[in-house]
Amino acid sequence: MTPWTDRSGKFSPLKAAVLAGACLPALWLAWQAASGALAPTGTVGPLGPRPVTEAIHETGDWAIRFLWISLAVTPLRRIANWPKLIMVRRMLGVTALCYALAHFTLYTVDLKFDLVRVASEIALRFYLTIGFVALIGLVALGSTSTDAAIRRLGGNWGRLHKIVYAIGLLAAFHYFIQSKADVYEPTLMAGFFLLLMFYRLAHWRGFALTSPFVLAAIAIVAGLATVAIEYAWYALATGVPPGRVLAANLQFSFSIRPAWWVLAVGLAVAAVALVRPRFGKAAPARGRRTAKAAA
C-alpha cells in the first residue's frame, strides 16, 4: 500500500491531498534554503541572516501543527460524519514526527555536530529537556504505527498511543518557553490543543459531538481558557502587566488575539455540525454514556 492509496489499493484523493500538504512546508523550506545558498555574496536570503536558526524554528512549528492536525482527526470524523478521515491520521502523525526529527537534526547542525554539547544543552536547559522527551515520545509512537506493530501489541497499542496527549502538553510547554516574550503563536497552539482536548472530554462524558450547541459551548470554554493561559503566562513569566493582556483581548486595532481565533475555529466546527444534516443522513455519534445506555 502506497501513501496515496487506500487499503484496497485504489487511489485515494484524500490521502494524496494530505501527502502533498505534508510535503509542501518541507519543499518550501528547502527552496528558501537553496535560494539563500545561491544568493550573491553580501545579500540576505529568504531565511534571513541566520538561516539554520530560522529553519530550526520553522520545522519545530510545523511539527506541532501537524501533531495538532492529527489529533483533530478523531473528533472531526465524528462531527462531520466523515469515517474515511481516519485513513490519514497515521500519515499526519508520522509527518509530525518527521518535522520534529528535522527540528532536532538542524539543532545538531547548528551546534556543528558536537554531540557532547548537544547532550549537555539538553540536560541543562529545561525547555530543551522537555522538548527532547516529547521527541522520544513521538519516536515511540512512530515506530509502533505500522500494521505489524499494531498486531504485535494488541490492546497495549491503544494504551501506548494515549501518551500523545502528554506529548502534546510537553510540546506546547516547550513552545512557550523557547518563545520567551512573543508567545502569540504558542498561545494560539495551546488554545487549539485545549479545544481538541475538550472535544474528547465531552465525548467521554457522554455529550454528542453532533450537537451544534455542545460544540458552541466547547468553543466558548476553549476561548476563555486561552485567555486564561495568556494571562497566566504574562503574569508568571514576564514583566508585562497581565491586565494589559486582558485589555488587548478586547482591542482589534492591531491584531486579533489567539483566544478569538480559537473561538472562531470552534464556532466554525459547530457550524459544520449545524449544516451537516442538510447534506445527508447523519450517522449516530453518541458519547460513551449514551452508547452504554443504548447497549
Whether residue 195 sits in one domain with residue 290: yes
Residue 233 has a pLDDT of: 81
Residue 282 has a pLDDT of: 46
Please answer whether residues 29 and 37 qualify as being in contact, where contact means their C-beta atoms are separated by less than 8 angstroms.
Answer: no
> Given the C-alpha cell 509502533, which residue does it identify?
144
- Locate the DSSP E strands across 154-231: none
End-to-end CA distance of the chain: 36
> pTM for the whole thing?
0.88
> Which among 133, 157, 179 is the end of a domain?
179
pLDDT in tens, the chain (295 residues): 688 888 888 889 999 999 999 999 999 999 998 887 766 766 777 888 888 999 999 999 999 999 999 999 999 999 988 889 999 999 999 999 999 999 999 999 999 999 999 999 999 999 999 999 999 999 999 999 988 999 998 889 888 999 999 999 999 999 988 886 678 899 999 999 999 999 999 999 999 888 999 999 999 999 999 999 988 887 777 666 767 777 777 776 667 889 999 999 999 999 999 887 655 444 444 454 444 433 3
Residue 252 has a pLDDT of: 67
Domain region containing 82: 1-179
Whether residue 82 sits in one domain with residue 206: no
Whether residue 59 sits in one domain with residue 150: yes
> Which among 150, 179, 208 is the end of a domain?
179
Distance CA 55, CA 107 (A): 9
Residue 152 has a pLDDT of: 92
Q: Is the dihedral of CA 263, 20, 80, 285 positive or negative?
A: negative
Whether residue 225 sits in one domain with residue 116: no
Whether residue 58 sits in one domain with residue 194: no
Whether residue 210 sits in one domain with residue 151: no
Whether residue 127 sits in one domain with residue 58: yes
Helical ranges in 205-287 per DSSP H: 212-237, 242-248, 258-275
Task: Copy the grid coordinates of residue 215.
Answer: 460544540
Whether residue 193 sits in one domain with residue 98: no
Number of domains forming the structure of the chain: 2
Distance CA 4, CA 208 (A): 32
Residue 267 has a pLDDT of: 97
Residue 217 has a pLDDT of: 97
Residue 239 has a pLDDT of: 67
Residue 2 has a pLDDT of: 81
Distance CA 55, CA 149 (A): 33
Distance, CA of 279 to chain centre: 29
Whether residue 161 sits in one domain with residue 16: yes
Residue 93 has a pLDDT of: 96
> Which among 179, 211, 232 is the end of a domain?
179
Using alpha carbons only, give the angle 94, 95, 100 rounded to the nearest 5 degrees. Answer: 95
